């Protein structure tokens, strides 16, 4: 079984040219982190964790020079760089 093809299939559906899977997985990670680490498990706290995870991803992708569509929308990389690194 080729794991890269499974990931590519999961990341296939896009919204605004961004992988829906990535956003959903990040939200699920925020929920799990919130449930595991917070005494006050509320939607507001989950959204705070979600925003922290997104900001962390933006910074890591920028520092590691990995162009993403979200970073393109933020003006941190070019559209051509994003398309050049797409695997599908």
Q: Give φ, ψ of 85 to 5 degrees.
A: -100, 0
pTM of the prediction? Answer: 0.84
pLDDT of residue 64: 97
| 45 close to 34: Cβ distance less than 8 angstroms | yes
Percent of the chain residues topping a pLDDT of 70: 93
Question: HEC states along 22-79?
Answer: HHHHHHHHHHHHHHHHCCCCCHHHHHHHHHHHHHHHHHHHHHCCCCCHHHHHCCCCCH
Report the alpha-carbon distance of residue 74 to residue 68 in Å, rounded.
10
Report the alpha-carbon distance of residue 7 to residue 4 in Å, rounded.
5
Condensed to tens digits (0 to 9), the pLDDT of residues 23-52 reads 999 999 999 999 888 777 889 999 999 999
Neighbours of 30 (CB within 10 A): 20
Predicted confidence (pLDDT) at residue 5 exceeds the cutoff of 90: no
Give the mean pLDDT of the chain: 91
Predicted confidence (pLDDT) at residue 88 exceeds the cutoff of 80: no
């Amino acid at each position: 079984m080729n794991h890269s093809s499974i990931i590519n299939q999961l990341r296939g559906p896009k919204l605004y040219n961004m992988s829906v899977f990535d956003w959903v997985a990040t939200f699920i990670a925020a929920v799990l982190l919130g449930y595991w680490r917070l005494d006050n498990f509320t939607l507001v706290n989950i959204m705070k964790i979600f925003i922290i995870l997104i900001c962390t991803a933006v910074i890591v992708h920028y520092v590691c020079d990995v162009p993403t569509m979200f970073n393109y929308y933020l003006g941190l990389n070019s559209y051509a760089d994003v398309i050049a690194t797409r695997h599908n």
